[in-house]
Each structure stands twice: as structure tokens, then as C-alpha cells.
Structure 1
Amino acid sequence: MWFPGHLAFSLLLCLPFIVYMKRERALALSFLGVFALLPDYIHLGDLRGFSHSFLGLGAMLLMFLLPLIIAFRPRLALILLAITAAASHLLADTYIGTVTPFYPWDDTWLQVHAFNSAFDIRTEVVLFGVAAIAVTALRPLEALRNIDDYDVRERGALIVTSALVIAMAGLQAVYFLIVSQGPGLDLFRSLLLAAFAVSVLFSSVFFIKTLVKKQHSKSISIVVK
């Protein structure tokens, strides 16, 4: 799957965590964006086989999640969300895409439907639409306002994770434009590209909101001095 499909599928699986984290909902969505795409961070040659295996997924979780835990000490619910989102990537790619769950002991690829096919693109558009409805019900504007109440660690975690989502979604969108071609898919291709744009926009809003608040706090302290 492409990023929008992974994001949507992970969101639906992780919905209980996101509902539970009312105050940190923006941070939860940002963590979701990072870890839903985690195995695709190394997507070249044999490295893809490794990253799309149980062993590789565990190694990448340690590589990415451990520094976040050390630096920002996220709540247990966020850690569990990250693990669930990362695991959902393999599940989604088993259905649309390819995985090698037991690599390097067994390099057999598992696949149900082909990646970047008409079925893939249409399915991802539908999934993203369902996920968008769910996010709307989660009051995203309230989640945005709650960023003002984040402490320093939560702000730091949101800056890092939202920046990663912006970078990865942007890079995949460019790659999608290059390789995704096919007759009769113009509408769904455009819709999926719009899903990329929405993902980048949301993360950019989180990122800017956090930075603006930080700068505002600094200016207040300067005035007081």
C-alpha cells in the first residue's frame, strides 16, 4: 500500500488508543503517521525483505521508538499505538503488496493483491475516506487547540514526529506521481494524491502550531525580563 492506505488502515485499527487519548490526540495521530509507514523507511533491495519481516519490524521499532521513549517519555498508550501501527503495516502489505514475514530464514514473499494496481488505488481511496470520517468524529480542531497545553516533552515529540510524516508522505507522493500510471484510473489517482496532500497538510498544521506556540512563549519571557 501507499502511505494514505497504510495511514487509514492503521488509524482504524488504532482507533481505541486515539479515542482514549483525548488531550494528546494530535500527538497520537502524529505517532500513527510515523509508525504506520515504518517498514517503508528502508525500501531498497534486500532491505525491503528485512523491513517487511517480523525480525526487521522488531529491529526498526527499537531503532525508532527507543530514542523517542528516551527523549520524550511518551505515555504507555502512545507506545502501544506505535507498535500496533507498525504491525498493521505488515498486515496491510500482506493483503495489498508483499511481505516476507520469516526473513532471513525463509525469503518467501506473501501476497494477495498486487501493489499499485487498480484494485490497490481504489481500495486505498475508500479506506482513506472511511478514516477521514472517523477523524472528523474525533474533533480535530479540539485536538489542535489542546496542543497549547502540551508540556515540553510532548511538544518535542510532536515536532519530531510531524516532521517525519511530512517528509515521508511528501517523498512518497512524488514517487507515486512518477510510477502510478494506468488507463481509467485518473479519478482515483487524483483522489489518492489528494489524500497525500491532506496528510501533509494535517502534519504541517501540527508542526506549525507547536512552533508558533513555542516562539510565543519565548517572546513573553523576553518581555517579562
Structure 2
Amino acid sequence: MNDVPDPVLRAELERGLAALGLAGALADPLLAYLALLHRWNRTYNLTAIRDPRAMVSLHLLDSLAVHPFVRELGNLADLGSGAGLPGIPLAIAVPALQVTLVESNGKKARFLREAARTLGLGNLRVAESRAEALDAPGAFDAITARAMATLADLLAAGAHLLRPGGRLLAMKGARPEAEIAALPAGWQVVASHPIAVPGLDAERHLVIVGRAPG
């Protein structure tokens, strides 16, 4: 992949965006992000997925499939953001959403800052920190992560970041019944949604966790 988007890549992305109810105009900034990721990945090993066509479905569309659940939020922290997933695609698709990418690895954090600068994303900031060490108590409407850890581990790392009434939006494959059963006291599943990702024939679920009443 060079800096000129492959027409096949663009067509696949535009079909996926249409299937998700998103504007085709998002293809340009998303492909710019993909080109940057592909270029940096040669040196920084940001993702094990090397094929740009696979990145469209497994990275871009997989991240964007949860966009309906973040549109009403003011802000969101993406824990263990890595290459910026799902945070960067969501920041592109929902410009009113303030997204903080939480990433402790210095090389990955450098890439994330470069992506925010290159893409001109004023609603994106990078916190080079472990989630549990981030000093922002009660600062976020929601925290999210893509297959980073168990639900209990995500809460252990990031629950302090949630405002009262804030939610964990956990992106999972199959519905994680064992993880749900192991939620710590005081937390409950508020909702669990099967997610259809265009071009991906695999189970995906968004599990929404909140504080239990009382």
C-alpha cells in the first residue's frame, strides 16, 4: 500500500461504511489513517495484521461498528489503545466525541500523537500512561477497549476514570459468559449487543457494564 489508496481498498471501505450507516466521505480520513498505520507498522510493529485489505474489516470497520453507542457521549477513553483502535476511527466518525487514547508503550504513543497531528483530529488526545496510573478520576462518560483484557481486569484498570453513571463499553468476540459471571461486586451488565461487522464472518459483541444500583 502506498500513499495513493488502492481503488479496491476504497471500494471495500465505502461499501462497509454504507452498511454501517456512515457517510462515504469518511473514507478519505480513514484511508489516510490506514496508510499511516501501514507505513509505521513496518518499523514499529503496531499490529500483527499486515494486509491493508484485512485492516479495512478487522481494524476500521470493526472499530466503527460500535459508533451508534458512542454518539451521545461527551468523551471516551480508549484503554490500551495500541495502534489507535477503536479510538481513532471513532474520533474520525464522531467529531463531537472527545477521545483520549491511553497507551503506555512509548513507540505506540508516538505513533498515536503523529496520527492525531497528521489527521488534524482536534478531538483526539494521547495519554502516555497505564490506565490504572492515569490521574483523571471521574473524567469520562465511558471507557472502552478492544479485546484487551477480561471485563474484571478492565474495571480494575479503568473504573476510577468513570464519572457516576459512566459505562464500560467492552468490544468482544463471542459473548463472554464466564467474564460476565466473574464481574466484581457492584458491577453489572447493562446491555449486550451482537455487532455485525461488514466483511467479517465472525462473532462480535459489545458488552456494556455499569455500576449496580445500591
TM-score of the superposed pair, with normalisation by structure 1: 0.27
Identify the structure with bigger relative contact order (alpha carbons < 8 Å, sequence gap 6+): 1
Query: Whose helix proportion is higher, 1 or 2?
Result: 1
TM-score of the superposed pair, with normalisation by structure 2: 0.28
